[in-house]
């Protein structure tokens, strides 16, 4: 190899060994397996905007070398989680099994669903329930009356908490210390011209939601969409989830939204919380949220 030749990629044995080393330098524990993190990153590289990708595209989006991306992709192909036509890769339905074990043990969706149906029927708008996962809200139950967003929402859909009404009330349910850490580290990227990106202003909105018991987001996630949310509390009074109603902005002013939607929304949240608390008191091992 001459001085002008490009450096070769790591040898397979060297790279595999590096993947198995714990990422202690990144502040993670000694039991951390880097190769699992990379394998999950390959799966997460596929989304609604990038359902089919080449090897080079997966390597670029995950930061892996082509050799490493190739091994992870073909391992996933062999396991039935990814399909390939020789050039393009895409996820197969079997990847849903990875999340089903969690969802199947989650009692919140089955408890919330009839209440969401009642709420949606009462206000004639879509209603959803979600939990907080890091800095995102994750949808766990939903009743849709019509599609009001450009992005399709289903169970497992994630949105940044800072730009959603459910995120506001879920953040409000955390301690002041936790909230301060979140605001210090969160990347408040503007999703619309209405998105709050100033940490101090966001904190004020979160505290307002905590004080009044509900939160409203006006076109911060998507233009033309307003939503209100209320917290769902467990037997001990802690916020375990959130429920919301979304409506097109053309339905009326924010005052109209608050007047028409907040009272039935809060009643639904209280009913869900009461059912959760009852099950929590009677279930031997508590309840999975």
Per-residue confidence at 275, pLDDT binned at 50, 70, 90? confident
- Which residue segment(s) compose the domain that 258 sits in? 105-282
Cα angle, residue 118 at apex, residues 128 and 227 outer, rounded to 5°: 35
On whether both 113 and 89 belong to a single domain, the answer is no
On whether both 85 and 129 belong to a single domain, the answer is no
Q: Which residue has the tokens 């033309």?
A: 224
Q: What is the CATH number of the domain that holds 115?
A: 3.30.450.40
Say what the pLDDT of residue 105 is.
57
Which CATH number covers residue 90? 1.10.10.10
User: How far apart (Å, rounded) are the C-alpha atoms in residues 257 and 99?
Assistant: 34
Which neighbouring-strand residues pair with 131? 138
245 or 13, which is more confident: 245
Closest CA to 126 of 270, 248, 2: 248
Do 84 and 113 belong together in one domain? Answer: no
Distant-in-sequence, close-in-space partners of 157: CB < 8 Å, separation ≥ 6: 138, 139, 151
Query: Does some domain include residue 204?
Result: yes
Q: Is the pTM of this model over 0.75?
A: no
Residues 203 and 230 in one domain: yes
Domain identity same for 52 and 113: no
Please, what's the b/e burial string for 258-279 (b: 16 or more CB within 10 A of its CB; e: otherwise)? Answer: bebbbebbbebbbbbbebbbeb
The whole-angstrom separation of Cα 117 and Cα 226 is 19
140 in the same domain as 17: no
Total of domains in the chain: 2
Beta-ladder partners of 143 = 127
Work out the pLDDT band at 241, boundaries 50, 70, 90. very high
Which tokens in the block code for residue 74? 């073909």
Evaluate whether 277 touches 235 at the Cβ level (below 8 Å).
yes
pLDDT tens digits along 143-177: 988 655 566 788 889 999 999 999 999 999 999 99
Give the end of a domain, one of 47, 67, 97: 97
Whether residue 76 sits in one domain with residue 22 = yes
Looking at the domain assignment, is residue 3 inside a domain? no
**Tokens 């408890």, residue?**
111
What does residue 207 show for φ and ψ, rounded to 5 degrees? -65, -35
145 and 169 together in one domain:
yes
Token code pair at residue 124? 């004639």
Among 40, 72, 97, the domain boundary falls at 97
pLDDT digits (tens, 9 = 90+) for 42-87: 999 998 888 999 999 999 999 999 999 999 999 999 999 999 998 9
User: Is residue 2 included in any domain, yes or no?
Assistant: no
Residues 81 and 181 in one domain: no
């Amino acid at each position: 190899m001459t001085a002008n030749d490009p450096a070769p990629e790591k040898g397979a044995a060297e790279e595999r060994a590096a993947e198995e080393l714990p990422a202690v330098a990144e502040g993670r524990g000694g039991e951390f397996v880097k190769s699992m993190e990379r394998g999950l990153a390959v799966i997460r590289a596929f989304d609604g905007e990038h359902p089919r990708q080449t090897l080079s595209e997966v390597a670029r989006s995950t930061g892996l070398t082509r050799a490493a991306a190739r091994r992870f992709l073909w391992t996933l192909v062999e396991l039935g989680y990814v399909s390939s036509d020789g050039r393009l890769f895409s996820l197969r339905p079997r990847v849903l099994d990875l999340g089903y074990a969690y969802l199947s043990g989650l009692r919140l969706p089955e408890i919330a669903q009839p209440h969401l149906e009642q709420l949606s029927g009462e206000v004639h708008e879509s209603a959803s329930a979600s939990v907080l996962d890091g800095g995102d809200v994750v949808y766990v139950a939903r009743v849709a009356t019509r599609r009001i967003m450009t992005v399709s929402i289903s169970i497992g859909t994630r949105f940044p908490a800072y730009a959603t009404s459910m995120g506001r009330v879920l953040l409000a349910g955390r301690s002041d210390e936790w909230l301060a850490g979140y605001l210090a580290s969160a990347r408040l990227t503007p999703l619309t011209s209405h998105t709050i990106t100033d940490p101090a202003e966001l904190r004020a909105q979160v505290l307002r939601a905590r004080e009044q018991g509900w939160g409203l987001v006006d076109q911060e996630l998507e233009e033309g969409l307003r939503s209100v949310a209320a917290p769902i509390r467990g037997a001990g009074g802690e916020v375990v989830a959130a429920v919301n109603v979304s409506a097109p902005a053309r339905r009326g002013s924010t005052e109209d939204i608050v007047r028409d939607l907040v009272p039935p929304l809060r009643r639904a949240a209280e009913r869900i919380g009461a059912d959760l608390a009852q099950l929590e008191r009677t279930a031997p091992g508590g309840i999975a949220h």
